[in-house]
Amino acid sequence: ALPTRTRLVEQVQESLDSNWRSEHQPTVIHLNVDRFKNINDTFGHHGANVVLVEIASRLARVAARHGGQAARLGGDEFAIVRVVGDPDEAAAIGAAILDAVRAPVAHDGHSLRTSASIGVAGS
């Protein structure tokens, strides 16, 4: 299971405290699964949960690969916190996140395609 919104806020604060004199600053990448209501309406709560669990797992792997931490904010919203050195690095992580979310999710004989809206905020 991913950390929650509360832990995410703590991680951002810890990153700010430990990097305030550094060129490397905490970056938060926020994403929301597109058309998630349609998945829920079509496949029910169980199918929607299968999708959320798979996306959470993928995000955790992407975050770990890039030295960050993923968190679930609630519903179909997630975030990744990572200390980055420049905007290009944040963009590369964002691209990896989108690739992970776009990979089909198998459920009950169906191949569900997902996408996400993403935003990046840095200090």
**Catalytic annotation, residues:** 76
User: For residues 7 and 72, what is the distance between their CA atoms, to the nearest angstrom?
Assistant: 10
Q: Are 34 and 118 in contact (CB under 8 A)?
A: no
CB 118 within 8 A of CB 94: yes
CB count in 10 Å sphere of residue 4: 13
Q: Torsion over CA of 61, 80, 2 and 48, rounded to 10 degrees?
A: -90
